[in-house]
Chains A and B, each alone.
Chain A
Amino acid sequence: MRVASMMNPRAAVVMFSILALAALAPLPAATPALPLIDVDAYDLPGDRGDAIALSWPAQERDQEQAQYVVSIAASADGPTTEVLRFNATSRFESDEPKYFGFGTPIEARHFVIVEAVEKDGEPAETFCKVVLYEGEGPEAVEVAASPIVSAVPEPNWFAAHKTNNLILALLTSGFILFFIQRATKNPDIFIRKLAGLEAIDEAVGRATEMGKPILYLTGYHDIDRVSTMASVNILAHVARKVAEFDSRLVVPNKWSITMTVCQEVVKEAYTNAGRPDAYNPNEIYFIAGEQFSYTAAVDGVMVREKPAANFFLGTFAAEALILAETGASTGAIQISGTDSTFQIPFFVVACDYCLIGEELYAASAYLSREPKLLGSLKGQDAGKFLVMAALLIGTVLVTINQLLPAESLTLMWIKHFFTAF
Chain B
Amino acid sequence: VTFWKRQLPGILVFVVGILLVVQYYIPHPWSSEVLGESNRWVRIIQNAALLLGVASLVGNHYRKIARKQAGFGYSYIALFFFLAMVVFGFATGISAPREIRETVTIPAGIATGGGEVPTDVDVESGFALSLMPALGKPLPNVTLRGKVDGGQTVALSDDTPVQLDATGKLILVVPPNTSGEPVTVGLFLKEDQSIGYWMFDTFKVSMEASMYSLLAFFISSAAFRAFRARSIDATIMLIAAIIMMIGRVSFGEMISRIFSKSWLFFPKACEWMLNVPVTAAKRAIFIGIALSVIALSIRIIFGLERSYLGRGE
- What residues make up the interface of A, taking CB atoms closer than 8 Å to B? 1, 5, 9, 46-49, 155-159, 162, 165-166, 169, 172-173, 176-177, 180, 222-224, 226, 229-230, 232-233, 236-237, 240, 253, 255-257, 259-261, 264-265, 267-269, 271-272, 282, 285-293, 295-296, 300, 304-305, 318, 321-322, 324-325, 328, 339, 341, 344, 346, 348-350, 356-358, 360-362, 364-365, 367-368, 370, 372-373, 376-377, 379-380, 383-384, 387
Contact = CB atoms under 8 A, between A and B. Distances in A.
A47 B31 CA distance: 11
A349 B136 contact: no
Given A157-B26, A349-B222, 11 more contacts: A155-B27, A172-B291, A176-B295, A177-B298, A236-B313, A257-B46, A322-B211, A339-B285, A344-B285, A357-B285, A376-B298
A257 B45 contact: yes
B276 interface: no
Tell me which of A49, A257, A260, A372 has the highest count of chain B C-beta atoms within 10 A of its own C-beta.
Answer: A257
Contacts of B60: 282, 285-287
A236 B309 CA distance: 10
B105 A240 contact: no
B285 A356 contact: yes
B310 A172 contact: no
B222 A350 contact: yes
Contacts of A321: 215, 218-219, 222
A180 B294 CA distance: 13
B50 interface: yes
Given A48-B29, A256-B52, A339 B289 contact: yes
A229 B257 CA distance: 52
For chain B, which range describes its interface: under 10, 10 to 19, 20 to 34, or 35 or more residues?
Answer: 35 or more
B225 A349 contact: yes
Interface in B45-102: 45-46, 49-54, 56-57, 59-60, 63, 70-71, 74
22 contacts: A47-B27, A169-B294, A172-B291, A180-B304, A226-B296, A233-B307, A236-B308, A237-B307, A256-B50, A265-B310, A285-B57, A286-B60, A287-B57, A287-B60, A295-B211, A318-B212, A321-B215, A349-B226, A358-B291, A360-B292, A361-B292, A387-B287
The 8 lowest CB-CB distance pairs between A and B, nearest first, are: A256-B53, A361-B292, A264-B310, A358-B288, A286-B53, A292-B211, A256-B49, A358-B292
Contacts of A364: 305, 307
Contact of B296 (A229, A259, A282): A229
Contacts of B299: 365, 372-373, 376
B32 A293 contact: no
A325 B218 contact: yes
Contact of A304 (B63, B71, B297): B71
A180 B303 CA distance: 12
A191 to B, nearest CB: 13
Most buried by A among B24, B287, B296, B313: B296
Contact of A267 (B32, B182, B219, B310): B310
B28 interface: yes
Secondary structure dominating the interface of A: helix
Contacts of A324: 222
B27 A370 contact: no
A324 B285 CA distance: 21
Interface in B138-189: 182
B141 to A, nearest CB: 19
A324 B32 CA distance: 40
B222 A346 contact: yes
Given A232-B308, A364-B305, A49 B28 contact: yes
B interface: dominant SS: helix
B293 interface: yes
A154 to B, nearest CB: 10
Interface in B203-251: 204, 207-208, 211-212, 214-215, 218-219, 221-223, 225-226
Contacts of B50: 256, 289
B40 interface: no
A282 B60 CA distance: 7
A341 B286 CA distance: 8
Contacts of A362: 292
Contacts of A344: 285
B312 A236 contact: yes
A289 B304 CA distance: 31
Contacts of A300: 71, 74
Nearest to B24: A162
A172 B285 contact: no
A268 to B, nearest CB: 4
A222 B308 CA distance: 13
Contact of B211 (A47, A172, A271, A296): A296
Nearest to A122: B29
A307 B194 CA distance: 41
Interface string B267-298: 00000000000000010011111011111111
A130 B225 CA distance: 65
Nearest to A173: B298
Given A155-B27, A237-B313, A290-B204, A349 B46 contact: no
Contacts of B4: none
A365 B312 CA distance: 12
Nearest to B71: A304
Contacts of B182: 9
Nearest to A321: B218
Of A46, A233, A358, the most chain B CB neighbours within 10 A belong to: A358
B311 A268 contact: yes
Interface in B1-54: 24-29, 31-32, 42, 45-46, 49-54
Nearest to B227: A349
Nearest to A47: B27
Contacts of B221: 325
Best-surrounded residue of A165, A291, A295, A349 (most CB of chain B within 10 A) = A349
Contacts of A282: 59-60, 63
Contact of A159 (B26, B222, B282, B291): B26
A237 B25 CA distance: 36
Nearest to A339: B289
A222 B56 contact: no
A154 B27 CA distance: 11
A305 B70 CA distance: 8
B301 to A, nearest CB: 10
A380 B291 contact: yes
Contacts of B293: 226, 361
Given A229-B296, A286-B53, A358-B292, A272 B307 contact: no
